[in-house]
Amino acid sequence: MTWPRAAAHLVIRTYQVTLSALIGRQCRYFPSCSEYADEAIERHGVWAGGWMGVFRICRCHPWGSSGLDPVPERLPADTSWYRPWRYGRRRPFTCDEGR
C-alpha cells in the first residue's frame, strides 16, 4: 500500500472508530459510505477512489436510493484523471450489471 492510500485509510478508519461509533450506522447503503470509500481507494487509487467516495456520500441522503452498492471492479471506459465526475455512479446497481 502506498503512503497516500495508507494515509487515506488511516483517516477513514479514524472516522469509523470515533465519530461513526458515537452516532451509529446511518448509511442507507451496503457497504457503508466509509467502507465504500476505503475499498474504492484501495482498488482504484486515491484520486479515482476518493472521487468515487465523494460521489457515494452525495448519493446518501434521505431522498436518495438505498440498498446494495458495491465498488465497481473496473473504472468506466470513458474516465480520465481530468474528468473526475465520470467516476461517480449515477444509476442504481442492478443484478445483471456484470454481464
Mean per-residue pLDDT pooled into runs of 10, the chain (99 residues) = 90 91 83 93 93 89 84 84 76 53
Please report whether residue 96 resides in a domain.
Answer: no
Element (H, E) at 67: strand 67-68
C-alpha separations of 87 from 3, 15, 30, 80 in Å: 22, 23, 19, 9
Please report whether residue 82 resides in a domain.
Answer: yes
Predicted local distance difference test score (pLDDT) of residue 51: 92
pTM value surpassing 0.95: no
With H, G, I as helix, E, B as strand and everything else as coil, classify residue 30: strand
Predicted local distance difference test score (pLDDT) of residue 95: 54
Segments forming the whole domain that contains residue 15: 3-87
Please report whether residue 97 resides in a domain.
Answer: no
Please report whether residue 22 resides in a domain.
Answer: yes
Please report whether residue 99 resides in a domain.
Answer: no
Predicted local distance difference test score (pLDDT) of residue 35: 94
Please report whether residue 76 resides in a domain.
Answer: yes
Please report whether residue 94 resides in a domain.
Answer: no
Please report whether residue 23 resides in a domain.
Answer: yes
Count of structural domains within the chain: 1
Return d(Cα 77, Cα 87) in angstroms, integer: 10
C-alpha separations of 55 from 19, 33, 92 in Å: 20, 10, 13
